[in-house]
Every structure is written in C-alpha cells, then in structure tokens.
Amino acid sequence: MLKENQTGYTMTRRIAFGFIVAMVLIASGFAISFYSYYRYGGDMQRVRHTYDVISALDNVLSSIKDVETGSRGYVITGDSAYLEPYIKAMQLLPGQLEHLQILTNDNKVQIKRRRVLEQLIKDKLAITEARLDILPFDRRSNAISAESKRRMDLLRKHVALMIDTERVLMEARNRQADNSFSKTLKIIFVLSLMTFLTLFILYRLLEKELAHRQQTADKLLAYDSQLRGQIRQLEASNEELERFAFVASHDLQEPLRKIQSFSNLITERYSNLFDADSMLFMSKISNSAERMSKLIKDLLNFSRISSHQEEFKVVSLGEIVQRILDDQELRIKGRDVQLQIGDLPIIEGIGSQMDHLFNNLISNALKFLRPDVRPLLRIQSRAVDSETYPDLIANRRYFEISVEDNGIGFDEKYVDHIFKVFQRLHGKSAFEGTGIGLAICKRVVMYHHGYITARSQPNQGATFVVVLPESQSQQQYDRPTSEAYSYPAS
C-alpha cells in the first residue's frame, strides 16, 4: 500500500510538472508570436519608409521636370502659359525637399546625397532662371539650354542613384522581414509541436492515473467486501465467545462447585481416617478447584470487556476507588497499609470496566509486599497533554492516574511481558493469582482509547501509570478547554 501511495504521488508530480511545461510552452509561443508581430511590424514600417523616400525622390524629380518643361516651352514659344507648370513646381519644391530631408535623416549616406541633390537642384534652378531672363530666340538660348540639359541629366542620375540605394535597402529589409517571419513560424511550429506532445503525454499520464485509481478503487471495494466478510466472521466468533462464556460461567462452574463441596464433605467426615498425605491430597484438590474457578471467572471477565458493547457514561474514578478500598478494608487494616489517595477525575467511561481496572491494580499493590516494610498505596492523578505519551490522539485532554506501592517491584525489561495473558513473574506458590489481571487492565485501557505502562525496580516498589481520555466523544475532544468533566470538589 505504501508503494502504491508513493507511485501515485510520483505520478501526480509528473502530471503537475507536465502541466507547468505545457503552460510555459504556450506562454513562450504567445510571447514569441507577440515579439514576432512587433518585429515584423517594425520591418514593414522600414519598408514603407523606403517606399516613402522613393516616392519623395520621384516627386522632387517630377517637380524639376515640370520646371524644365515649363521654362523650355516659354523660351521656345515666348508664351507665358507654358510657365504654369514651372510656377506650380516652384511652389511645391520647397515642401518636397523638406519632406525628403525628414525622411532621409536616418541614413548618413542618403543625407550626404540629399545635400548634393539640393545643390544640384539649386544649380538647376539658377540656370533655369538665367534662361528665363533672356528673350526668346536669343542666340545665348542654345548655350544655356545645353547647360540646363547637362545639369538636368546630372540631377536625374543622382536621383536614380538615391532611388537605387533605397531599393537596395528595401530589398534587404524585405528579406529581413521575410526571414524574421519565417523563423517565427518555425519557432511557433516547434513550440506548438512540443506543446501538443506534452499535452499528449499528459493525456496518457492522466489516463494511466485514472486507470490506476480505478484499480485502487476496485481493490478498495474488494478489501471492503473482504473486510465485511471478516466482520461477519468476527461477529459470529464473538457470539460463539459469548456462548462459551455462558458455558464457562454456568456449566463449567457447576462441576467445580461439586468437586469443592464433595472434597470438603470428605475432609469433614473422614478426616479422622486420613493420614497426613491423604489430607494434603484433599487440600490440593480443593485448592486446585478453587483456583480453576477463579481462572474461569477471570477469563470470563477478560472476554466480556470488548464483546459487551456498553454505553460510555460519566464515571467518578474517586468513587470507584473508594468503593474498592472499602471492600478491601479488612485486608488493608490487617496489613497496616498506609493509604495516600489524591483527587481523582470524572471521565466518560464504563463503570464495570473501571471496577476491574482499579480492583486489579489495587489488588496487585496489596499482594506483592516486602517483608518487614510497612505497605504503602498511593493513588494520584494529573492532567496531561496527548504529546506526553505515545499513541494518544492529538489535541485531546487526558488524565494520568498513577497507582504506586513500595512492594517487591520487578525489572522494567519485563514491562511488556506482564500485560500479556497468563504471564507471571513469580511462581504460583509464591503469590496467588491467575496471571490475567494485568491483561484485563490493558484491555480496559485500550477499550477506553488510553495508554498503560509501569515503572519499577526490584525491591523499590512499582508504579502503574494509566492514561485515560476525559471524554470519548469527538465533540468534547475538539473543545479547546473542557468544562464538562473535572476533578470533584475536595
């Protein structure tokens, strides 16, 4: 089961990591697409800028042509109507040159060439004005026209050079935009493919995890069915155990009572006929029958602790302990036992089981005495946290009840041994008992969701520690402080 939990945890981590990778890939694709769109827009803006420069150069050249055409027509014909294109071009030319200047300020080569162009235009306009100053059909007109044509050719060549430069830039920028766009498409394709593969792997992992969980659910259902069957078997076993307890308390006790009765009658009627060995044998028969009767009663009490589902009620441990001490009064006075009984709490529990618990603990304290030492029995309690002892439920209030004596004690290496059924540290002849008392104590404490242990050293007494919850209900445990049950008023 632990391995399956680790496998499920690893699978969950892989799925989470896969989703993170997919989100990173999608975010990367979005970012690259946005960057590509931004960069492609910049490249296209530069291409459009090149078109604008070429268009501006064409406009300047067109205006110069209008200047040339208008001035030539006027010189040839003398008709001022031909000057209209000239006049209009002269009005547009300053604005066109200024616009060209703004467009070419980002290119040092074109800046130099623009300045040369401006000088060529200035020279051209100067020669054109000189041509217009002479009269039509003047002999000097031919020479000025030839110079004007030469300057116009230089101007055309220079404009063509600038346009060719912009076209080269335009081709380079178009290639750059195409390359950038192509690379972006490739990157987006790769990222999309990786995202698809990641999502496909995630789908397979999820499918596998769902199948694994379905298998786990099927196993849990099978375990549940098996557990229900075992519960039914356990209930049947408990019923058989109760029937056995009934037989043990009635049918088995009846022959023992007859053995005891007839052995006592034989001893009383024929004691004068028996020798010492015969009397010893009859005494052993009677003692064995009595011990067998006690053993059956203890086994019956041991089996009834968990088989009888009694309701938890408010129980005063102080009253229970006092009642047990009253029952043991003759024994306590006969052995001159020194009692030190502190305030004991009120808890939720089963009264009959608490009787068994403290009766066995007090009987043990009064049984294992040291010779020539006045017996001591001290019972005290205090509130403790769940962290004080192992196997206790967190955030619940507990009471620690200690039953201390100054008897013969025992070696603590046997502390787990003494709480098992029929386990004894002393011979049957040394101390009476069936070896079930402490096992009953442990079963009672476990049934009450508590904890029991012991502290001791040989010839230094023993202290049995019982830890019991204040309340058995979850609602009571969940309260930060308890007010329903506390120590009785002293």
Mean pLDDT of the 143-164 span: 83
Mean pLDDT of the 164-180 span: 82
Query: Is residue 113 over pLDDT 90?
Result: no
- Give the per-residue pLDDT at 245: 64
Provide the pLDDT confidence category of residue 366 given band limits of 50, 70 and 90.
Answer: confident
Q: Report the alpha-carbon distance of residue 421 to residue 27 in Å, rounded.
A: 69
Give every CB contact of residue 283 below 8 A, 6+ residues apart in sequence.
267
90-94, 118-122, 135-139, 204-208: which range is least confident on average?
A: 135-139
Q: Percent of the chain at pLDDT above 70?
A: 81
Mean pLDDT of the 57-73 span: 83
Both tokens assigned to 56: 């501006």
Q: Percent of the chain at pLDDT above 90?
A: 5
What pairing do the DSSP bridges indicate for beta strands 398-405 and 346-349? unpaired
128-142, 191-205, 353-367, 421-435: which range is least confident on average?
A: 421-435
- Domain residue ranges in the chain: 2-212, 252-309, 311-490
Query: Is residue 489 over pLDDT 50?
Result: no
2-6, 392-396, 483-487: which range is least confident on average?
A: 483-487
State how far Cα 96 lies from the chain centre. Answer: 72
Cβ contact 321:344 at 8 Å: yes
Which of 59-73, 407-421, 449-463 is the most confident on average? 449-463
Report the 10 Å Cβ neighbour count for 354: 22
Q: Report the alpha-carbon distance of residue 128 to residue 116 in Å, rounded.
A: 18
Sheet with strand 398-405: strands edge to edge: 338-341, 376-384, 398-405, 462-469, 451-456
Helix, strand, or coil (residue 470): coil
67-81, 285-299, 392-406, 438-452: which range is least confident on average?
A: 285-299
- Give the per-residue pLDDT at 399: 92
- Give the per-residue pLDDT at 316: 92
Both tokens assigned to 18: 């896969």
Tell me: the pLDDT tens digits for 195-209? 778 778 877 878 887
Strands (E), 342-433: 346-349, 376-384, 398-405
- Give the per-residue pLDDT at 295: 65
DSSP calls for 321-350: HHHHHHHTHHHHHHTTPEEEE----EEEE-
Q: Report the alpha-carbon distance of residue 2 to residue 234 in Å, rounded.
A: 27
**Higher pLDDT pick, 96 / 242:** 96
DSSP H helical ranges for 104-139: 108-133
Query: Is residue 380 over pLDDT 90?
Result: yes
What pairing do the DSSP bridges indicate for beta strands 376-384 and 338-341? parallel
Q: Report the alpha-carbon distance of residue 327 to residue 363 in Å, rounded.
A: 11
Helix, strand, or coil (residue 489): coil
Name which of 213, 209, 212, 289 is nearest 19 in CA terms.
209
Query: Is residue 2 over pLDDT 70?
Result: no
Q: Report the alpha-carbon distance of residue 73 to residue 17 in Å, rounded.
A: 82
Name which of 348, 343, 304 is nearest 443 in CA terms.
304
**Higher pLDDT pick, 101 / 247:** 101
DSSP calls for 89-102: HHHHHHHHHHHHHH
Provide the pLDDT confidence category of residue 479 given band limits of 50, 70 and 90.
Answer: very low
To the nearest 10°, the Cα dihedral for 309, 315, 321, 327? -70
Q: Report the alpha-carbon distance of residue 19 to residue 60 in Å, rounded.
A: 61
Query: Is residue 430 over pLDDT 90?
Result: no
Which residue carries 């955030």 as its tokens?
A: 395
Both tokens assigned to 53: 């420069």
In the DSSP assignment, the letter for residue 412 is: G
Query: Is residue 393 over pLDDT 90?
Result: no
Name which of 364, 446, 448, 458 is nearest 411 in CA terms.
458
Burial of 397 (0-12, 13-18, 19+ CB in 10 A): buried
What pairs with residue 349 in β-bridges? 313
- Give the per-residue pLDDT at 478: 43
- Give the per-residue pLDDT at 423: 52
Mean pLDDT of the 315-320 span: 91
- Give the per-residue pLDDT at 486: 38
Tell me: the pLDDT tens digits for 259-286? 778 777 887 777 777 777 777 777 778 7
**Higher pLDDT pick, 390 / 431:** 390
Cβ contact 340:378 at 8 Å: yes
Q: Report the alpha-carbon distance of residue 160 to residue 60 in Å, rounded.
A: 12
- Give the per-residue pLDDT at 322: 92
Provide the pLDDT confidence category of residue 467 given band limits of 50, 70 and 90.
Answer: very high
**Higher pLDDT pick, 53 / 134:** 53
Mean pLDDT of the 418-423 span: 65
Query: Is residue 4 over pLDDT 80?
Result: no
Mean pLDDT of the 240-255 span: 67
In the DSSP assignment, the letter for residue 484 is: S
Provide the pLDDT confidence category of residue 309 given band limits of 50, 70 and 90.
Answer: low
CATH architecture of 311-490: 2-Layer Sandwich (3.30)
Provide the pLDDT confidence category of residue 103 given band limits of 50, 70 and 90.
Answer: confident
